[in-house]
Amino acid sequence: MIQGTVNWNTKITQDWLQNYVDDWVTFYQKQTKDGEVASYIPILKEADPKHLGISILGNNGLSVRSGNVDTTFTIQSISKVFCFIVACMERGVAYVLDRVDVEPTGEAFNSIMHLEMRKLKKPFNPFVNAGAITVTSMLNGKTPDEKLEPLFQLLEKILGHRPSLNLDVYESERDSSIRNRAIGYYLVELDYLESNMDITLETYFKQCSIEVSIDDLAIIGRVLANDGLDMQTDEEIIPRKIARLAKALMLTCGMYDASGKFAAYVGIPAKSGVSGGIIAVAPPRVREEVLPFTEGCGIGVYGPALDNQGNSIAGIKLLKHIATKWDLSIF
């Protein structure tokens, strides 16, 4: 039997889970040396490239955490998922999708090439910067703080605590935002922004600077795995239609220009951020085998050493390993 798989006689105990995940994290932690921490936002360079941590929270009550579980980090591009969800909740799905498409680009997250070359009527998708900044401009409210309040409230409702804003990261990103300002100006020229550009960009930099842990990502991931329902209270925190749309976008566009490979080799909706975080969502599945997270789970990963596409190099490998061993793929 392959290590980490289960036969009918195996009892899935907490120790059993922990031993496997610890082994896997230790193994993949060594591969962090092949990646590099992001440096275009100066303060992100301070992250320890050797860090790797994972938190998995199952619908069946099982949970496991391993590696560098206590390091917090900024959410970065993972915020694009929540911002999209909030914009859809505020404005309605049809309004948002009239202004941003749902097509993967195959280009880097901060590329603007398609928009210019193809003379599109709207940005490709809400998870590339051009689309994300457009979505941010749709949030209700006049100031960045007003615009972000519903997002904070949503996260607070899911997590049970209000996440903080990392002001140092916010300032570092704001002060080194040449590319995002270029995108902003281009969006103004195309008349895509629904709010003033400076306010929109400030809002965007702030949303990227929300501080989270891998446990936070696992908790949010589990709500998405359940189509927006909070397992504990049975409350619909995110409308089902919006949660499902967000997951479809995560699967097709969530891992930048590596989204196709991630869908093929890991097979679950996920979204990464340049600080090395990944949120992944394994919806419940019908399976004959006894596997730990068949009933669905949320996963949070942190590993700041990135690959060429800007995804956590060891985090992706770890997720691929776990998804293969425990058959998490939705396909």
Ligand X SMILES: NC(=O)CC[C@H](N)C(=O)O
- Interacting residues with ligand X (CB under 6 A): 76-77, 109-110, 129, 173, 180, 208, 273-274, 310
- Is there a binding annotation on residue 140? no
Nearer to ligand X, 228 or 304 (CB): 304
281 is catalytic: no
Q: Active-site residue among 28, 170, 192, 204?
A: 204
Nearer to ligand X, 28 or 109 (CB): 109
Q: How far is CA 218 from the centre of its chain?
A: 10
DSSP category for residue 309: T
- Is there a binding annotation on residue 202? no
Q: How far is the CB of 325 from ligand X (least distance, A)?
A: 28
Q: How many CA atoms lie within 13 A of 37 on its CB side?
A: 18
Q: How far is the CB of 214 from ligand X (least distance, A)?
A: 16
Q: Active-site residue among 169, 212, 274, 281?
A: 274
Nearer to ligand X, 63 or 76 (CB): 76
Exposure string of 195-212, with b = 16+ CB inside 10 Å and e = fewer, is bebebbbbbbbbbbbbbb
80 is catalytic: yes
296 Cβ partners below 8 Å, 6+ apart? Answer: 58, 59, 222, 225, 226, 282, 283, 284, 285
Q: How far is the CB of 146 from ligand X (least distance, A)?
A: 20
Locus of tokens 């060891």? 314
45 is catalytic: no
Closest CA to 316 of 305, 328, 331, 327: 305
- Is there a binding annotation on residue 180? yes
249 close to 102: Cβ distance less than 8 angstroms? yes
- Is there a binding annotation on residue 7? no
- Is there a binding annotation on residue 137? no
Q: How far is CA 5 from CA 21, 62, 267, 282, in A?
A: 12, 16, 18, 17
Q: Phi then psi for 176, rounded to 5 degrees?
A: -130, 35
Nearer to ligand X, 22 or 36 (CB): 36
Q: Active-site residue among 80, 206, 271, 325?
A: 80
102 is catalytic: no
292 close to 213: Cβ distance less than 8 angstroms? no
Tokens describing residue 253:
């566009």
Distance, CA of 321 to CA of 108 (rounded, Å): 25
Q: How far is the CB of 135 from ligand X (least distance, A)?
A: 13
The DSSP element (H or E) to which 298 belongs, if any, is strand 297-302
Q: How far is the CB of 110 from ligand X (least distance, A)?
A: 6
274 is catalytic: yes
Q: Active-site residue among 55, 77, 79, 111?
A: 77
- Is there a binding annotation on residue 95? no
Nearer to ligand X, 128 or 297 (CB): 128
| Residues labelled as active-site residues | 77, 80, 204, 256, 274
Which residues are annotated binding-site positions for substrate?
Answer: 77, 129, 173, 180, 204, 256, 274
Which residues are annotated binding-site positions?
Answer: 77, 129, 173, 180, 204, 256, 274
